[in-house]
Amino acid sequence: MTVAKEIMTPNPKCVGENDTLVDAARLMASMDVGALPICGEDKRLKGMLTDRDIVVKCLAQGGDPTTMRAGELGEGKPVTIGADDDIREALDTMKRYQVRRLPVIDGHDLVGIISQADVALSLSATETGETVAEISE
Calpha distance 57→55 (Å, rounded): 6
| 92-131 per-position pLDDT tens digit | 999 899 898 999 999 888 999 999 888 888 777 777 777 7
**Residues 81/105, Cβ–Cβ less than 8 Å:** yes
Domain span holding position 111: 4-135
User: Mean pLDDT over residues 79-96, rounded?
Assistant: 93
**Residues 101/115, Cβ–Cβ less than 8 Å:** yes
* CATH classification of the domain holding 36: 3.10.580.10
Calpha distance 76→48 (Å, rounded): 10
| pTM of the predicted model as reported, rounded to 2 decimal places | 0.85
| 3-60 per-position pLDDT tens digit | 999 999 999 999 999 999 999 999 999 999 999 999 988 878 999 999 999 999 999 9
Taking residue 136's Cβ as centre, other Cβ atoms within 10 Å add up to 9
What pLDDT, on the 0 to 100 scale, is given for residue 1? Answer: 78
Number of domains in the chain: 1
